[in-house]
Amino acid sequence: MTLTEKALEVFCADRFATQLVGIELVEVGDHTASCILKVTPPLCNARGVAMGGAVYTLADFAAAVAANTDCLDSKQLRWVSLGTSIHYLSPARCETTLRADCIPVKVGHSTALYQVHISDRASGKLVASAEATMMRLSAD
């Protein structure tokens, strides 16, 4: 089974991100993840663009998947977010599809830093950039 298949099996339990918001996991590698999100009308604000919270959720989910790639075999997710900083760079109109690509900047024993770039899938235009600091929980 590939890392992507393992991640799909584990992270389908994140119903807020996958079912309510509609995030789809596209590709998973060693501490990397790519996800997509179609910006549907319920995810848009009164201006007709994606709510910041929807874009943030995409970044947060991609970072969680990337950080936990070393836990997929045991299905015991150990990495949690300590904090995420996001910069919204351009609006994402309703009905566009966003792609989040998450890569590690530094993965240590107990903390890690990830960079997430969110872009318009069709144009490639950067919509947001986020940094997520993750912490590894000790085994129970």
Residue 83: give its domain's CATH number: 3.10.129.10
Distance of CA 16 to the CA centre of its chain: 12
Measure the CA–CA gap between 20 and 17, rounded to whole angstroms: 6
pLDDT at 140 over 70: no
- Higher pLDDT: 131 or 139? It is 131
DSSP H/E element including 24: strand 24-29
What's the predicted TM-score (pTM) here? 0.95
pLDDT in the model for residue 78: 92
Which residue range is the domain that position 31 belongs to?
3-136
Tally the domains of the chain: 1
pLDDT in the model for residue 82: 97
pLDDT digits (tens, 9 = 90+) for 31-85: 999 999 999 999 999 999 999 999 999 999 999 999 999 988 888 889 999 999 9
